[in-house]
Amino acid sequence: MSSQDIPEETLPSKQGEAHEGAVAVAGDPFADPGLPPHEHRIQDIDERAAKRSERAVAFMFTLSMLATIGFIAAYLAIPVDKNIYVFPIGHVSAMNFTLGLTLGVALFLIGAGAVHWARTLMSDVEHIDERHPIEAPSEVRAKVIADFHQGAAESAMGRRKLIRNSMFGALSLLPLSGVFLLGGLSKAPGTKLRHTAWGKGKRLVNQNTNQPLRPEDIQVGSLTFAMPEGMKEEDHDFQNQIAKAALMLVRLRPENIKDKKELDWSVDGIVAFSKICTHVGCPINLYEQQTHHVLCPCHQSTFDLSDGGRVVFGPAGHALPQLRIKVNDKGYLEAMGDFQEPVGPAFWERG
């Protein structure tokens, strides 16, 4: 905007008049100071300064575009299980860190560019809106106060001091329950997820039929859910226990198993993995036979059961824990111990 484009009412002489026109109203101890003179921005009177601001805004938007391209490149290029050391946070997922950083920079620069644009180049005209009194007429206020007193008298609050005091006590204590609930969310589970109901020699039982499983019960292409022998739905602790011990079994062709440890821990291609998603703990229940991938329905984390339960897509940060199994001398599948790492969500430190 050049100086010729500036509205006349915002020129210093006009605004100065408003300021000088300050008047004291009779009976009002404070004089209305009026508006101070309007100060024009350098960009309004110097075309070169305006151009500089324009370039600065365009520069921020361009950097934002680059950050977005960096976000996409990081998403495509960084392996999901790669960790890096970031001072002072420690070891973090390289992909999560880079995605957060680039997205944060892209959003910040869009915001900063918009603010700079508004402050230096958008219209700088001052408008005056008249403010009307918001106070209610005195008769309305008097009626409200009278109604309040009448309501208080009818509720007998003044006379029934025991009710009044206990009610105030109850109302002031109630918010504490929320404080305690929120406080509970800040506690990490400690070692509670380190041990499950699995142990050496525990037979694998079909979760639907309650029957111990033999290798021949697990067919290629099917997903079988299992739990440790001895757990009963009527047990008071059943839900807590199954939430940690739930297991899924899949039979793969041994030549398709890419991970050597996984192969050693399997029986004739039958692999057993925790069914609890390592993102925030939903049960996994979708299996794709061709790719050997299982999918968590909550946020689409996808794990490769032919490659150590590795995360191939989605927000989960860790592979699914595998349970080491064997066939006992009676021909049933049994565990060779507990999981060797905590099952479930990975948002606290596992070490």
- Phi, psi (5° rounding) for residue 194? -75, -30
Token pair belonging to 174: 């109630």
By CB under 6 A, residue 283 contacts ligand FES: no
Q: How far is the CB of 302 from ligand FES (least distance, A)?
A: 9
Question: Judged by CB, which is closer to ligand FES: 112, or 298?
Answer: 298
Residue 227: both structure tokens together: 């739990």
298 contributes a contact to ligand FES by CB under 6 A: yes
| Plot region of 348 (φ>0 → left; ψ -120 to 50 → alpha; else → beta) | beta
- 347 touching ligand FES, by CB under 6 A: no
- The packing angle between helices 94-120 and 47-77, to 10°, is 160
Contact residues for 47 (Cβ-Cβ < 8 A; gap 6+): 2
Residue 299, interface with ligand FES (CB under 6 A)? yes
Q: What are the φ and ψ backbone dihedral angles of 230, each rounded to 5 degrees?
A: 100, -10
215 near ligand FES (CB under 6 A): no
Q: Does 250 bind ligand FES (CB under 6 A)?
A: no
State the Cα–Cα distance between residues 186 and 156, nearest whole angstrom.
Answer: 43
Choice from 101, 280, 312, 327 touching ligand FES (CB under 6 A): 280
DSSP state of 267: B
Q: Choose the binding region for ligand FES from 30-38, 274-282, 285-293, 304-312 (rule: CB under 6 A).
A: 274-282
Q: Which is nearer to ligand FES, 110 or 298 (CB)?
A: 298
Total of residues contacting ligand FES (CB under 6 A) = 12
CB atoms within 10 A of CB 346: 21
Stretch of residues binding ligand FES (CB under 6 A), selected from 44-52, 75-83, 164-172, 312-320: 312-320
**DSSP characters for 272-297?**
EEE-B-TTT-PBP-EEETTTTEEE-T
286 near ligand FES (CB under 6 A): no
- Residue burial 56-68, b: 16+ Cβ < 10 Å; e: rest: bbeebeebbeebb
Residue number with CB closer to ligand FES (159 or 299):
299
- Binding status of residue 248 toward ligand FES by CB under 6 A: no
Q: To the nearest whole angstrom, how small is the minimum distance from the Cβ of residue 346 to ligand FES?
A: 10
Region of 40-48, 235-243, 246-254, 295-303 interacting with ligand FES (CB under 6 A): 295-303
The least CB distance from residue 320 to ligand FES, in Å, is: 10
Dist. CA 64–CA 107, nearest whole Å: 7
In whole angstroms, the minimum distance from the beta carbon of 279 to ligand FES comes to: 3
Three-state secondary-structure class, residue 86: strand
Binds ligand FES (CB under 6 A): choice among 98, 120, 301, 322? 301
* Residue 302 found at the interface with ligand FES (CB under 6 A): no
Is 270:223 a contact under the CB 8 Å cutoff? no
- Interface with ligand FES includes 271 (CB under 6 A)? no
As measured in angstroms, the least distance from the Cβ of 277 to ligand FES is: 3
**Which residues of the shown chain bind ligand FES in the complex (CB under 6 A)?**
277, 279-282, 296, 298-299, 301, 314-316
